[in-house]
Amino acid sequence: MSAQLAVVLAYLGGMLAVSAVVRRRPGGHQEFFLAGRTLGALVLLGTMAATNFSAFTVVGFSGAGYRMGFAFYPVMAYGTGLMALTFIVIGIPALRIGRELGLVTPAELVEARFGSPTLGVSFAAVQAFFTLPYLALQPLAAGYVIEGLLGVPHALGAAAVTAVVVCYVLAGGMRTVAWTDVVQGLLMFAALAVGLGVVVAALGGWGAAMGRLAAESPAHLARPGAGGGLTVGIWASYMALWFTADPMLPQLFQRFYAAKDERSLVRVAASYPAVTTVLFFIPVAMGAFGRLLVPGLEGQGADRIFPLLMERFGGTWLHALAATGVLAAIMSTMDSQLLTLASIVERDILRRREPAALGPRGARSWEARAAVAALAVAGLLLALRPPATMLAIATEAFAGFAVLFPVVVAALYWRRVSARAAVASIAAGEAAVIAYHFKVLPTFGLLPAVPATAVAAAVLVIAGLAAPSRREPPDAFVRHARFGIGRRAAVAWAAIFAAFCVLSTDWWRFDGRSPAMVAGLPEWVLQFIVVGFVLAVALAAFGRRAAAGRRPAGPTPPAG
């Protein structure tokens, strides 16, 4: 048996062992899909980060770093860190409302608020539809890794990883997924750190690597980056995209329900910018340096740079360790996506209910499991013939999620908005996404997701004002969608986070000039590192204030 195969088998066996230790008998939907709503801050951070930081983070980021350089780092690290604000403004009320009403899926929150099964089904269908291409990124990257590590065909490696994930997700539920995510997240970080060390050593040290990059491809250290693709408009679009799309990812939204309490969510929100600031730097730097060691990759080929670097410069054991870390990133996202899809199929599509019947329901397990298996196969087939780079696939999928953001915000904070306005908003926004896919609408120099979300928001506001709802929101929404701060404090905090948004787009540096170097880094990179940690402090303070004045929710509903 080869060393590489031994490492992969040991990793897979270790994940099965972890799942066997933490697994409990499923006591109904509360336990199977939400781990009984008992995830504390540490496990919640681990599973949210590992779920959110997918194959796109490891393979896609390194590929983008190869193509664009360090300019790609802050648009991901700072943009994703700023997105953690939604863990407070959306996550905390969703946690409390979900606990009181026994909600399990994101669509159930929208349906409960508006009393519209049609809206609930529409919301669920959109989330399921756009999860599929994002799901396909995971076996796509797995195939690259297994092919580079063991020499097996790409299709076979992708199929093997998909089969393993499907088996342990359906067997263990959220509790198993959460704990394996923690282990996989740590392994992913270790593998990336080791990988970057290998690449830097191959270039003769950090200073030598930076000096060579500045001499051979200075655009990889400057703004807007190599290729000129990260214009100010595209940069700002990505910042807006992560903020609106990430919390609408069903696997991330569902973890709001699974949190043990508000304090856990606040701690996760405060930790997120620090985690993204450190973690996201590594694959982008590796990709930028990889251009020096493995030149000539283009398009989708650049997404293979991480496994290629480890194969050529890591040696047998380090290559195997790095590849296993990539598999950890892949599987920790795929398992969550499949579990969430199972809940959507089970509760939102197969087992419809009236909004008033907010409680335990019977399960039709075999149908949900069959649907999850079918979706896994569909994602695998899409992965075998990817239509674009990983960045392009993820960006388009995220556009579909971002369109849902205005409806969720309105559900929590706009008392007189109607179900019809919400349905119209989703329909108009997704129609715009489709139109942009076929390139029949102008983008105005932005990512299509931004104008599509603007269309959804405009339709929601116009329809909501033209025909306001006479139906009062359920009491749970009235009680739990309020912050524990006064109006003046709310305005002050809005100004603070607006300032963080302004700092996220330093348009004055987008001139292509070689930057000054400080502590071995371009000075603008160092600025974003500092601001990322300051953002973490601000989120911690805001989260404590926002949660302070809330009335406690009722007990967790019986598992069902």
Answer whether residue 204 shows pLDDT above 90: yes
Please tell me the pTM assigned to this model: 0.88
CB 147 within 8 A of CB 325: no
Helix (H, G, I), strand (E, B) or coil at 204: coil
Residue 558 phi/psi, 5° resolution?
-60, 145
pLDDT bracket for residue 394 (50, 70, 90):
low
- What pLDDT shows up at residue 367? 62
Q: Which amino acid is at 481?
A: A
- What pLDDT shows up at residue 502? 85
Tell me the domains of the chain and their CATH numbers: 3-351+364-548 (1.20.1730.10)
CB 307 within 8 A of CB 192: no
pLDDT bracket for residue 355 (50, 70, 90):
very low
How many CA atoms within 13 Å lie on the side-chain side of 507?
8
Answer whether residue 45 shows pLDDT above 80: yes
- Distance set, CA 290 to CA 43, 83, 297 (Å): 33, 29, 10
- What pLDDT shows up at residue 359? 41
- Rounded distance between C-alpha atoms, residue 242 and residue 507, angstroms: 19
Strongest mean pLDDT among 105-109, 437-441, 487-491, 503-507: 105-109
Among 33-37, 211-215, 291-295, 356-360, which is the least confidently predicted range?
356-360
CB 252 within 8 A of CB 87: no
- What pLDDT shows up at residue 391? 56
- What pLDDT shows up at residue 354? 40
DSSP state of 351: S
pLDDT bracket for residue 363 (50, 70, 90):
very low
| Cα torsion angle, 122, 126, 132, 135, sign | negative
- Rounded distance between C-alpha atoms, residue 154 and residue 140, angstroms: 8
pLDDT bracket for residue 390 (50, 70, 90):
low
Among 23-27, 166-170, 441-445, which is the least confidently predicted range?
23-27
- Rounded distance between C-alpha atoms, residue 77 and residue 263, angstroms: 24
CA-atom Rg of the chain in angstroms: 23
- What pLDDT shows up at residue 429? 96
pLDDT cut 90: percent of the chain above it: 46
- Rounded distance between C-alpha atoms, residue 303 and residue 289, angstroms: 14
- Rounded distance between C-alpha atoms, residue 59 and residue 333, angstroms: 13
CB 474 within 8 A of CB 411: no
